[in-house]
Amino acid sequence: MLAPASVSDYRELARRRLPQLLFDYVDGGAFEEATLGANRIDLQRLTLKQKVLRDVSTLDTSTTLFSQALSLPLILAPVGFAGLLARRAEAQAAVSSEKANVPFTLSTVGICSIEEVRQATAAPFWFQLYMMRDRGVVREILARAAAANCGALVFTVDLPVLGTRYRDVRNGVGVRLPNLAKLEFAWNFAIRPKWLYDVVAKGRPLTFGTLSGAVEGARSLGDLLKWTSATLDSGVTWKDIEWLRNEWQGPLILKGLLDVDDARDAVKAGVDGIVVSNHGGRQLDATISTVSILPKIAGAVGDKTTVLMDGGIRSGQDLTRALALGAKACMIGRAWAYGVAARGEAGVTAVIETIRRELQTTMALIGRTCVADIDASVLHD
């Protein structure tokens, strides 16, 4: 490959650079990965109407989310443990997103802390929250996010328990291994010297940045996943959304909705936005693809709250398809993770700019000059 041209190319570069365990952690999904595949397949089945002899000399890809003007209807989604993919990856990605004028979302279980990302950037970034059993810890995190002027709080609601991810198990994550298998496990990292130097030698501390005071004794990805599983509150209900709404004064977004009735309940709870999401196919592997349910949810609540979508977005054409079906903007997770793993900040920038160019090209070929004009009429029946 002389030069990467697409997000898929950055995926391949990431595969070559990362230890298999980490690549599979990012790339994989739950169980047999049917939902992971459906997110991509169902997007690709949507065909766009090509239009000709339209004046497309000026194209406007900008939009506004929660009073924030953006250059693209795109958000970098929260990616847990991203700092294991590249040196201080969350900070690098936040800098890239700031330059591109799109929001970056920091995960609760990111390697970089809220304060580190704040120090690396000037523009508001978003923060993603998992609800923990200790509400005192949650309050303290929310106070830190507010002090850092985070532009929105993204509360993930589709993780009462961790999904079963076969790739992680096969790679020895959270599994007691015999001695011979431990050697193979270690070899998986030893054959990636560039990654070792960038992340292990130069990227420390490799802990939950925001939760560093709460996590004790975690020495590996498996340890961190076990801690996460033990700490998450599986008893969260709509009453907790009311509590969270009272605790957080900025825009509140619920991420992980796939049901129309749940979306209506979210509106009743007073949230400012929802993300139609199946956690990238990493939770329930027998559920619907996000783009398949998006039109019903957008039709039901799109005039009452901001509807976003994630799951399978790998190009500007995918972004166009989602906008056509009612999304105000889309989140990308794996796409930017591939970019940062492959080439750090420059890789994230390249991924964003690739999607921008693809969106512009697609808009010109379907005869739409601004993203606000992209609707279901651009799709074939």
Model confidence, pTM: 0.96
Q: Is residue 376 part of a domain?
A: no
The pLDDT assigned to 175 comes to: 84
Q: Is residue 192 part of a domain?
A: no
Q: What's the number of domains the chain is made of? A: 1
Q: What is the 3-state secondary structure (H, E, C) of 152-175?
A: CEEEECCCCCCCCCHHHHHCCCCC
Q: Is residue 309 part of a domain?
A: yes
Average pLDDT, the chain: 95
Selection from 2, 10, 9 nearest residue 336 by Cα:
10
What pLDDT, in 10s, does the model give residues 4-23?
A: 999 999 999 999 999 999 99
What pLDDT, in 10s, does the model give residues 14-70?
A: 999 999 999 999 999 999 999 999 999 999 999 999 999 999 999 999 999 999 999
Asked whether the beta carbons of 116 and 30 are under 8 A apart, the reply is no
Active site residue 380: no
- Judge whether residue 217 has pLDDT over 70: no
What average pLDDT does the segment 125-149 reach? 95
Q: Is residue 363 part of a domain?
A: no
Q: For position 293, which CATH number holds?
A: 3.20.20.70
What pLDDT, in 10s, does the model give residues 236-256?
A: 999 999 999 999 999 999 999
Q: Is residue 196 part of a domain?
A: no
What pLDDT, in 10s, does the model give residues 301-347?
A: 999 999 999 999 999 999 999 999 999 999 999 999 999 999 999 99
The pLDDT assigned to 174 comes to: 80
Q: Is residue 187 part of a domain?
A: no
Q: Quick one: which H or E segment has residue 64?
A: strand 63-65
Q: Which of the residues 11, 167, 279, 368 is marked catalytic?
A: 279
Distance CA 65, CA 50 (A): 28
Q: 63-65 and 68-70: which strand pairing?
A: antiparallel
Q: Is residue 285 part of a domain?
A: yes
Q: Is residue 269 part of a domain?
A: yes
Look up the domain containing 158 and give its range: 7-47+69-165+228-353
